[in-house]
Structure 1
Amino acid sequence: MFVVLGANGRAGGETARALLEMGQPLRVFLRRPEQAETWRKLGADVAIGSIEDAHGLADALLGASGAFLLCPPPESGDPYLRAEELGRALARAVREAALPRVVALSSVGARHETGTGIIAMLNILEKHLYGVAPSTTFLRPGYFVETWGEVAQFAISDGVLPSFLAPEQKIPMVSTIDVGRTAAELLCDDFRGQRIVELSGPRDWCADDVATAFGRVLDRPVKTAFVPVEARLAILVQDGVSPDVAEALLGMYGGIASGRVAHEAGNEHLYGAVELIDAVERIVRHMVA
């Protein structure tokens, strides 16, 4: 049996579904009881609790062959303090449950302690989880293509794709479908030790590539609208993002622009199979459904 945290999120949900498709026994660890029935209907066992509760999480991990762990960004407060707290709780739960295998969601750029904004949370997570299980894999994917779903409404309604990424800067991007499939495969392999696996899509893409993909799916022109640095904080705060979290998110985009969020030589590097056009088509399909 495998345990998946964050099953109602992007990467966790795809990992859980991939494991079920592989015929693997699955337990999802959820925060809210009302989310449980959907997963039970899919054939998963369900545990309810908080990842801050190390003992409760350890109970859910007990007897598992492995687990997919993550550190979700906070809704408010200091993201880096939050990462320290969650990293300690996750490490304690893994040790208490004597869990043999961990796949932890990280990110390209997580090798840096600073200069990457909210990605630095994952540097903290990696430090807490390193060596806590006989087999520990830090999965470092690129920028999630599905993140563009947060602004897809503007592409659909106005033919404009707002972007904090420079229109022509190609960066590692990957669909969360590939993240989930890869995480599930890594949980099922027989690796022992500590490793970092970086994951990209079939090729690197830029914001203009994403706009072009939206245009192809919608069958009308879509253009990238680059948001100036000085305008971004106000936009995020207006959208309800707390100032601390907004600053951390903007730090990530600064790290991407500077080239700091990039692949690290010497790590294992895998490539997903989901093309940009297919990922964007799924985003649009969900938006107009």
Structure 2
Amino acid sequence: MCTNKKELILGNMKAIIEYNSRKITIDVSEPIDISIALDVSKENVNAWYVGAPKIFPVDFDGEIAKVSEGAVVNFNNIHFNPHAHITHTECVGHITEEFHSINQNLKHYFFVAEVVTVAPESSGKDFVISEKQLKTALRNKKRDAIVIRTIPNLKEKKSMQYSNTNPPYLLEEAAIYLREKGIKHLLIDLPSVDKEKDGGQLLVHNAFWNTAGIVRLDATITEFIYVPNAVEDGEYLLNLMIAPFENDATPSKPVLYKIIK
């Protein structure tokens, strides 16, 4: 948890933040946005067998709320699914009968994160991320969040049509390892941490949120990120920004800041 003690040095745009008794310096002029936008002007990223998102002006009895159509304002409706169309952050309410809201459960927004690059391993017809791979990447580091970039890391990830493609996923053992290591926030550049078609088991979601024990209500999973190749593996300050939706999941905008010291 981040304390409220911080200092902004405006001259060189550096922020000094006291985080768990540690002073962290970041350059706030160089944010690294790892979200994928919803953009209907081109092929939008998509998964889970739903149609494309839509943004369209309201029709008031034949009067189109669009300035180019003679209106005084642009007044658009947006039709999308956060799990299918955009970078999103979800809480345990995604898989529970009881309602849990990401807006209520995520109360802090700055975390020390480790960016790791992983090449999913072949396992039969699947490609998976194992406990061993994450142990090798994290070693003895203490982090609140992990940001997983899979390779190959092509820009096409921003427009991939994932339905019925069996994308890579985490093994249950990997989720248990992250949970036991104290990772509260798991971010990945895939449509899901689980296998696309697993008979409804959702092994990784359940293991990470510990639904068989004391449920981790304050833990989150963020899917559909994109970490540019120029971003090096290592330690960052993560600002996990979400839209205030009272829902199991919401569009989000995770931003990384390189830690200077």
TM-score scaled by length of structure 2: 0.27
Between Structure 1 and Structure 2, the one with more strand by share is 2
Larger radius of gyration: 2
Higher relative contact order (CA 8 A, sep 6+): 2
TM-score scaled by length of structure 1: 0.25
Between Structure 1 and Structure 2, the one with more helix by share is 1
